[in-house]
Amino acid sequence: MKGPTQKTLVLAIGVIAYFMMLAGCQEEQKQTQNQLDTPGEKRSRLIAMENMQLKRQIEQQKSLHARQMEDQKKQFEQCLQDKKSLEDLAGKNVQGFMDTIIKDLSDDNQRLQQEVTNLKAQVDSLKAQLQQARAKAP
């Protein structure tokens, strides 16, 4: 049992050592590349990276703006619906109010016309009584 376990352990250590050397070589290549770059190349790379970041930010802002516009459009539509509902309700209330006022005024008008008619009849009666009293008195 010791044989296969030892072989597996040695193989695992070998694989780990290989990956560590590979990573070290890549890091060394990066450092060598950075040392060989001229200031203009470094600047160009930095500008390119910054441009990519700015493009991502622009896309994020466009997406955010589109969502905000959609939300505002929905809110606007809701406001228009609410406005129409309130106008309809106000129209119904005004119509009901006007109907009530007109009915009350009409009732008052009829009552007052009846009262005027009664008062005219009383005035005529009193005039007649006054004429009779004058006629009897010498």
Domain ranges of the chain: 1-36, 37-136
Q: Answer with the residue of higher pLDDT: 102 or 114.
A: 114
| Residue whose structure tokens are 């006022």 | 101
In this prediction, residues 116-138 reach a mean pLDDT of: 88
Q: How many CA atoms lie within 13 A of 68 on its CB side?
A: 6
In this prediction, residues 104-132 reach a mean pLDDT of: 91
Contacts of 131 (CB under 8 A, 6+ apart): none
Query: Tokens representing 31?
Result: 């450092």
Model confidence at 73: pLDDT above 70: yes
Q: pTM for the whole thing? A: 0.40
Model confidence at 111: pLDDT above 90: yes
Distances from the Cα of 124 to the Cαs of 106, 113, 121, in angstroms?
Answer: 27, 16, 5
